[in-house]
Amino acid sequence: MSRFRWPLLAALALLSGCINLAPTYERPQAAVDEQWLPGTAVPNGQAAADIRWQQFFTDPRLAHLQALALTNNRDLRVATLNIEKAQAQYRIQRAAGLPAIDASVSGSHSRTSGTTSHDYSAQLGLSSYELDLFGRVQNLEDEALEAYLSLAETRRSTQISLVAEVGIAWLTLAADNERLALARQTLVSQQATYDLTQRSHALGGAAGLAVSEAQTTVESAKVDVGVYASQVLQDQNALRLLVGSAIPA
């Protein structure tokens, strides 16, 4: 019997160590250098990739809006759920390559004709599992891990994009508010000039053409105020859409 056992064991060992049929990944050659040229402008500066967005955006009001956007954004919540799903799938695939051991203990008591008997039993079993022939189980595990890492990077990319979009929208709103304030100041100044020119014309000191020109500048200033006021409203709506809630005052 032993004469046939060793060849069988050898065959099983050979099968379990079969060549993985998955294609070997070869990293493509990049069209640029692998390392940046060393710089001397900021020798001890922190790398841009290591700077957290909380350090980059220092305005507390903007940071609050960005935190609200991260909490309320649906795409980010979907990405988080997909990551959790991928994590569970990876754990399942990883467990598929390991045998499961089951253990149980039972006992019983019986009394017959004045005699008490005790019966105890313990069982230890190894459940069946799939041998990793040709690397199939390992490939599935690697696939699940790569899917998880891909989704994790997707979530990180979504988070970075959202934070950046909120920052851009905030700065755009601030710039347009400044333009609106300047346009209103210009309107006040042009209105004062028009009033002065009109009084001068009434006293005979200014021609009618000067009054018309002053009135034209006033109307132009009013148009600018309307344009920038409309732009500010659009900026507020865009920021509200990104944040997912009303903008705190």
The label of the residue with tokens 């009135």 reads 215
Tokens in use for 86?
């991928």
Give CA separation, 149 vs 73, 88, 140, in Å: 21, 13, 14
pLDDT at 228: 94
pTM as predicted: 0.56
pLDDT at 131: 46
Overall average pLDDT of the 38-49 stretch: 56
Q: How many CB atoms lie within 10 A of CB 159?
A: 19
pLDDT in tens, 133-148: 444 445 555 556 566 6
Give CA separation, 21 vs 11, 18, 96, 129, 134, in Å: 19, 9, 19, 20, 6
Which pLDDT band, with edges at 50, 70 and 90, does 62 fall under?
confident
Tokens in use for 193?
């000039």
Spatial separation of the C-alpha atoms in residues 31 and 19, rounded to whole Å: 33
Overall average pLDDT of the 113-129 stretch: 54
pLDDT in tens, 213-228: 889 999 999 999 999 9
Overall average pLDDT of the 20-40 stretch: 64
